[in-house]
C-alpha cells in the first residue's frame, strides 16, 4: 500500500510564491487549463514549461499585464503563443519578479489561445526535513495562483529518482516500486488525479519516477500544492545551498 503521511507528520511549514497574475484589458476570459511540466534536477533546480490555455470572452486583448511572481533566481528561456491563426510571438518586459507579456496578434472573442513560458529556477527549491529519523527534502514550489477560476490544472513532475530498467509503462510503476524509492506523500484525496508514471531519459538511458497531479474546477485564488517528500539522497541541496 502506498505510504502516505498524515498532516501531523509533516515537520516543515512550506513557503510558496503566492501570486494573482492579471490579463490585460480586464476580464473576463475563461481559464481552460494550466499545465506545468516540471523537471526536477538532482541539485534541486527546476526546468519548467508553463502552459496557459484560455478562451477569450471579450473583444480581445494584446497581452497579459502581470505574470508572476517568479523566484528571485530564474532564467526565462522562451515565451510563445498559439491560436486559431497559428503561432505568434510573445514578448516579455519587466521582471525579475513579475513580467508583462505582449502578444504579436490581438486575441478574438470566442477563440481559444495557448501561452507557453519556458524557464529555469536556478537555485534549489527544496527544504530539509526528517521523518522517522531519516533525511528528506520537501519541494517549495507551486504554479501561480489566478484571480479567476481554472477549469483544469495539471502538474507533471519528473523526479531525479531512477526506476528499474524493466519499468516501461505507467502501469509498471506499482505502489511497491514507488515505496522502494523512499518517496513519501501527504493526503492525495484533494486531487482528482494522482498518478505515477515513468519518463525515459534518451541521453542517459535511465528511467525517472514521475508524478502526474490534476485538479478540476479550481476556484479563483486557489492554491494547488501537492506535497511530497524525496529522500535526502535524491536531493542533497536546500534553498541555502550556494549553486554556481
Comparing 77 with 6, the larger pLDDT belongs to 77
3-state SS string over the chain? Answer: CCCECCHHHCCCCCCCCCCCCEECCCCCEEEEEEEEEEEECCCCCEEEEEEEEEEECCCCCCEEEEECCCCCCEEEEEEEEEECCEEEEEEEEECCCCEEEEECCCCCCCCEEEEEEEEEECCCCEEEEEECCEEEEEECCCCCCCCCCEEEEEEEEEEEEECCCCCCCHHHCCHHHHHHHCCEECCCCCCCEEEEEEEECCCCCCEEEEEEEEEEEECCCCCCCCCEEEECCCCCCCCCCCCC
Residue 138 · residue 129 · CB < 8 Å = yes
Minimum mean pLDDT among 149-153, 220-224, 227-231: which range?
A: 220-224
- Cell numbers for 20, please give them: 494573482
- The pLDDT value recorded for residue 244 is 67
- The pLDDT value recorded for residue 26 is 57
Burial string for 99-125 (b: 16+ CB within 10 Å, else e) reads bbbebeeebeeeebbbbbbbbbbebbb
- The pLDDT value recorded for residue 39 is 97
| pLDDT > 50? residue 63 | yes
Which tens digits make up the pLDDT trace of 71-130?
A: 889 999 999 999 999 999 999 999 899 999 999 999 999 999 999 999 999 999 999 999
Model confidence band, residue 204 (pLDDT cutoffs 50, 70, 90): confident
Residue 198 · residue 210 · CB < 8 Å = yes
Q: What is the mean pLDDT of the chain?
A: 89
> Cβ neighbours of residue 122 under 8 Å, at least 6 residues apart?
45, 73, 74, 75, 243
- The pLDDT value recorded for residue 130 is 92
Which tens digits make up the pLDDT trace of 11-56?
A: 444 444 444 565 655 568 999 999 999 999 999 999 999 999 999 9
Burial string for 154-172 (b: 16+ CB within 10 Å, else e) reads bbbbbbbbebeeebeeeee
Task: Express as a percent the part of the chain with pLDDT over 70.
Answer: 89
- The pLDDT value recorded for residue 203 is 86
- The pLDDT value recorded for residue 243 is 72
Residue with cell 504579436: 104
| pLDDT > 90? residue 179 | yes
> Cβ neighbours of residue 2 under 8 Å, at least 6 residues apart?
175, 178, 179, 185
Q: What is the pTM of this model?
A: 0.89
Amino acid at each position: 500500500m502506498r505510504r502516505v503521511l498524515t498532516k501531523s507528520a509533516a515537520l516543515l511549514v512550506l513557503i510558496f510564491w503566492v501570486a494573482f497574475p492579471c490579463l490585460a484589458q480586464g476580464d473576463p476570459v475563461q481559464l481552460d487549463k494550466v499545465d506545468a511540466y516540471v523537471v526536477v534536477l538532482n541539485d534541486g533546480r527546476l526546468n519548467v514549461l508553463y502552459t496557459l490555455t484560455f478562451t477569450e470572452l471579450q473583444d480581445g486583448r494584446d497581452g497579459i499585464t502581470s505574470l508572476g511572481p517568479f523566484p528571485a533566481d530564474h532564467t526565462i528561456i522562451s515565451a510563445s503563443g498559439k491560436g486559431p491563426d497559428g503561432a505568434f510571438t510573445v514578448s516579455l518586459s519587466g521582471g525579475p519578479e513579475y513580467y508583462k507579456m505582449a502578444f504579436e496578434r490581438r486575441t478574438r472573442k470566442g477563440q481559444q489561445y495557448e501561452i507557453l513560458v519556458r524557464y529555469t529556477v536556478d537555485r534549489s527549491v527544496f527544504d530539509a526535513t526528517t521523518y522517522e529519523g531519516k533525511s528528506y527534502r520537501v519541494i517549495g514550489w507551486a504554479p501561480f495562483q489566478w484571480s479567476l477560476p481554472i477549469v483544469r490544472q495539471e502538474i507533471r513532475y519528473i523526479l531525479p529518482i531512477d526506476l528499474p530498467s524493466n519499468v516501461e509503462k505507467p502501469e509498471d510503476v506499482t505502489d511497491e516500486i514507488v515505496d522502494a524509492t523512499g518517496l513519501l506523500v501527504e493526503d492525495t484525496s484533494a486531487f482528482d488525479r494522482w498518478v505515477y508514471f515513468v519518463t525515459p531519459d534518451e541521453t542517459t538511458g535511465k528511467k525517472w519516477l514521475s508524478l502526474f497531479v490534476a485538479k478540476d474546477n479550481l476556484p479563483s485564488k486557489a492554491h494547488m500544492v501537492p506535497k511530497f517528500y524525496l529522500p535526502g539522497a535524491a536531493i542533497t541541496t536546500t534553498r541555502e545551498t550556494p549553486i554556481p
